[in-house]
Amino acid sequence: RRYVALLPAAGVGARMAAGCPKQYLTVAGQPMLRHAVEAFRASALISHTYVVVSAADGYIDEVLPAGLAGVTVLRCGGATRMDSVLNGLRAIQREMAESDMVLVHDAARPGLTPTLIARLIDGVGDDAAGGLLALPVVDTVKRSAPSAQGVCSAATIPRNGMWLAQTPQMFSYQLLLRALGRATDPDAITDDASAVELLGLTPRLIEGHPRNLKVTLPADIRIAEMYLAAGE
């Protein structure tokens, strides 16, 4: 079986409020995106890595020089993450066989390792619904309700059985293409598994690792650097 990686990297990183899209910010001496790409290049299980950037991207040629083995850049990013993944899947259609598996990974998760990639692939096995890395929720989860003072806590959701989704998320190429192609509300599709769930399938949850955090706020860069310095 063949496994390929697809990294949506066409976001602007508004919450980071940096001078460039967050996937290009330096983490431990390298652009964040490069760390994520290197995890896949270092994995013996991955045959190829595709990176989806926006057509106007002015950084990628420096971050991933032409000729980097095992990597193809696709300039077909869309308005939402879901669009970027779907455009990428369509762009590689001719290179993909029915049984090929796609691991979709956020470019903004620089802490991924070949060990975590292998854990996902082993954990999902040949489950037709695919699966994803995720972490059990450790905090108490509240549902908010509007109040005169702002928001208040209206209910506590039992954290038992609650998980935080990470990436990579792995599905067969055909399944993911069908799931994202059918989804009609991009705002409701914040990860790939949610599109697959809408088909009535139940992707497997495989325990990930805190080092695989998504860099969202400026302080997250320091946390990511701490994990990268600690090694695997």
By CB under 6 A, name the binding residues for ligand C5P: 8-11, 23, 52, 77-81, 84, 106-108, 214, 216
- Of 202 and 216, CB closest to ligand C5P: 216
CB of 17 to ligand C5P, least distance (A): 13
In this structure, how many other beta carbons lie within 10 angstroms of the beta carbon of residue 199?
12
- Of 105 and 126, CB closest to ligand C5P: 105
- Of 14 and 44, CB closest to ligand C5P: 14
**C-alpha separations of 211 from 97, 110, 125, 156, 162 in Å:** 32, 9, 23, 27, 19
CB of 33 to ligand C5P, least distance (A): 8
Strand partners, 51: 7, 73
Tokens of 128: 């037709």
- Of 10 and 189, CB closest to ligand C5P: 10
* Omega within 30 of 0 (cis) for the link into 31: no
CB of 106 to ligand C5P, least distance (A): 4
- Of 126 and 185, CB closest to ligand C5P: 185
- Of 165 and 175, CB closest to ligand C5P: 165
CB of 68 to ligand C5P, least distance (A): 18
Do residues 52 and 81 lie in contact, with contact meaning Cβ atoms separated by under 8 Å? no
Spatial separation of the C-alpha atoms in residues 27 and 75, rounded to whole Å: 24
CB of 162 to ligand C5P, least distance (A): 19
Q: Cβ-closest residue to ligand C5P? A: 11
Spatial separation of the C-alpha atoms in residues 136 and 165, rounded to whole Å: 9
Do residues 131 and 203 lie in contact, with contact meaning Cβ atoms separated by under 8 Å? yes
CB of 178 to ligand C5P, least distance (A): 20
- CB contact set of 89 (below 8 Å; sequence gap of 6+): 6, 102, 173, 176, 177, 180
